Amino acid sequence: MTTTTANATVTRARTGGPKDDGPKIVEHVLGWVLVVVFAMLVTGAGLL
């Protein structure tokens, strides 16, 4: 039973995630842009 589970894990298709190779700086910058935009919306709406 354990070999079947191991084989199923190996043959499963990748769906993305933190181990994907790619431009990590772009993700980092876009994340901070999202944080800044959210902060501007919150302060503009008077919620803070």
pLDDT in tens, 1-48: 556 655 555 667 767 666 666 678 888 999 999 999 999 999 998 876
For residue 24, the model assigns a pLDDT of 84
Domain presence at residue 37: yes
User: In which domain, by residue range, is 40 found?
Assistant: 23-47
For residue 39, the model assigns a pLDDT of 94
Q: With beta carbons less than 8 A apart as the criterion, state whether 24 and 18 touch.
A: no
Domain presence at residue 39: yes
Check: pTM over 0.75? Answer yes or no.
no
Domain presence at residue 16: no
CA dihedral 2, 21, 15, 5 (to 10 degrees): 0
Domain presence at residue 9: no
For residue 23, the model assigns a pLDDT of 79
Domain presence at residue 6: no
Domain presence at residue 34: yes
For residue 28, the model assigns a pLDDT of 92
Domain presence at residue 14: no
The number of domains in the chain is 1
